[in-house]
Amino acid sequence: MSKTRKDREGNIRLRADGRWEVRVTIGIDYATGEERRISRYAKTQEEAIKLLHELSFIRDHTPNNFQSVTVSEWLPFCLETYMWPTLKQSTYLSYESYIRVHLNPALGNIQLKELTPRILQQYYNYKAETEKLSPKTIVNLNLFLHKALSFAVAEGYINSNPADGVNLPRGSKPQIVILTRDEQARLMQCSYQHRYGVFVRLVLFTGLRLGELLGLRWEDIDFRAGILHVRRTLNRLNKMKRPLQPGEPTTEIVIQTPKSQNSIRAIPLLPAVLQELQGWQYVQQKDAELAGDQYNASGYIVTNPLGGMIEPRTFKDYYHQILQASGLCHFTFHALRHRFASRAMEQGMDPKTLSEIMGHYSVSFTLDTYAHVLDGHKQEAVALLGDLFTAQPQSAVYPLVVTTEDNGLLLFDLIDFPDIDAEASNMAEGIASIKEQAQEAMLTLPVPPVPTPAEHIQLAANQFIVQIDV
């Protein structure tokens, strides 16, 4: 059974699997010179007719229609034509959901030329006040709509972008829950009893996202320089393209570059972490011996006993087992990343360095996200005000350059004190030695040296900076 539209607008037919197929000609296949057609699917005939109406603009977008193009016609066309080639799968799926769930139901019948800042403002107010949509979601809706309407301006459908003139709602940031020192200790203790506990500890010392962790390959670890490279992410996403065959899974494992350019980064690893990763290599070797021909040497770091990659849902199950053993079931995996960031700030890591390690798009985002959780630091900062009323000199914070040697030793160089350096097997020992030398030197100096800004220091691949109080 099928329903055919005139003038090659498209057609609708009922498939053997019970779904309705909508086919629309959208232009020319420039590889063959033939017409290019796309298919979309619906559960009912009514839904299929509506979908055909929405997609018909993809074929019929001549200058004669400039004055009548609607939001529901423009957005799918814009997504498929202008945005699709450059979008990550996760972003495409988000945009498609914005159109289907939010924008078309409310604004779809409005012509682009009739869309005004006032209409958009009222729409966003309704979403926030009546539907209780989060401010973050509304901001994301407007970002997509603004982008789509910018292309409409470029095409000549509208003279200006109405999304420019809206006042977006602001909401309070959700409270970030941070593991305490005692909770972290309990979690780490229990992690040693689980096969995958090494990766809980790795995230606690690197701040990796779950997808970044699961996407790690051995080629991403530079054992000589002590550097972990974040180059890809592994996630399970809804399939982007249709049709799906009957019984075919709707999701798939997707390996792609990280969420932003800033997320492609290098993270220094402590010697103890490198040793743990070498220990995991031994575990994989034992897995291969036991599995024999069934073992798949995939090259991924996080693997099951047969060498295959582990997807996020499965790894979260393993993580939950560790949480149960430690009595900390209310913490998400992302809490490990939060704990790393907060601990780094507690230890005096400068925000720029932390932002780069975390893969954030800006230092201000790092500070805005984490600075407010450091109540202990706030108290310490207020306590320092007492120095204004005493004759006691204030301590200064100096950058300490740490170099990882091939033999596992660490070299410490307090660059603002040319005569002060140290060599140690661990961070605590080296920092203690440096501080002792610096405090003795400060007693003999009439004026303490001005600390060198960390961003002015050129680092080698095997070096990183720690800020210390002297």
Grade residue 7 by pLDDT with cuts at 50, 70 and 90. very low
- Mapped onto helix, strand or coil, the DSSP state of residue 146 is helix
Who wins on pLDDT, 292 or 405? 292
Give the residue among 49, 26, 48, 52 at the shortest CA–CA distance from 37: 26
3-state secondary structure 296-337: CCCCECCECCCCCECCHHHHHHHHHHHHHHHCCCCCCCHHHH
The pLDDT, as a whole number, for residue 227 is 95
What's the CATH code, domain 357-469?
3.30.160.250
Token pair listed for 165: 């003139």
**Lowest mean pLDDT segment, chosen from 6-20, 282-296, 335-349, 451-465:** 6-20
- Predicted confidence (pLDDT) per residue in 180-198, tens digit: 888 999 999 999 999 999 9
The pLDDT, as a whole number, for residue 3 is 43
- Predicted confidence (pLDDT) per residue in 147-177, tens digit: 999 999 988 888 999 999 899 877 666 677 7
- Predicted confidence (pLDDT) per residue in 219-269, tens digit: 999 999 999 999 999 988 877 665 556 667 777 888 888 877 888 999 999
Task: Could you please state the CATH topology (level 3) that the domain comprising 181-333 is classified under.
Answer: hpI Integrase; Chain A (1.10.443)
CB environment 316-352: b (16+ within 10 A), e (fewer): eebbebbbebbebeebebebbbbbbbbbbbeeebbbe
Q: What angle do CA 312, 314, 315 make, to 5 degrees?
A: 65
Residue 465 has phi, psi (to 5 degrees) of -110, 140
> Which helix (H) or strand (E) covers residue 465, if one does?
strand 463-469
Does the model's pTM come out above 0.75? no
- Contact criterion met (CB below 8 Å) for 37 and 88: no
Does residue 274 have a pLDDT over 70? yes
Which residue is listed with tokens 């193009």?
69
The tally of CA atoms less than 13 A away on the side-chain side of residue 437 is 19
Strands across the sheet with 20-28, in order?
A: 2-4, 11-14, 20-28, 35-42
> Which helix (H) or strand (E) covers residue 12, if one does?
strand 11-14
Grade residue 395 by pLDDT with cuts at 50, 70 and 90. low
Q: Which long-range contacts (CB under 8 A, 24 or more apart) does 49-56 make?
A: 49/3, 49/12, 51/22, 52/5, 52/9, 52/10, 52/12, 52/22, 52/24, 54/104, 54/108, 55/10, 55/22, 55/24, 56/5, 56/9, 56/10, 56/24
> DSSP readout, 100-130?
IIIIHHHHTTSBGGG--HHHHHHHHHHHHHT
Q: Which long-range contacts (CB under 8 A, 24 or more apart) does 112-115 make?
A: 112/69, 112/70, 112/71, 112/74, 112/149, 112/152, 112/157, 112/158, 113/67, 113/69, 113/157, 113/158, 115/71, 115/149, 115/158, 115/162
- Contact criterion met (CB below 8 Å) for 322 and 197: yes
Say which residues have a Cβ less than 8 Å from residue 380's Cβ, sequence separation at least 6.
none
Say which residues have a Cβ less than 8 Å from residue 455's Cβ, sequence separation at least 6.
352
Per DSSP, what are the bridge partners of residue 28? 35
The Cα 274–Cα 221 span in angstroms is 9
Grade residue 382 by pLDDT with cuts at 50, 70 and 90. low
Domain boundaries, the chain: 1-49, 181-333, 357-469
- Predicted confidence (pLDDT) per residue in 25-83, tens digit: 766 555 566 776 777 888 888 888 888 877 765 555 443 455 678 899 899 988 888 88
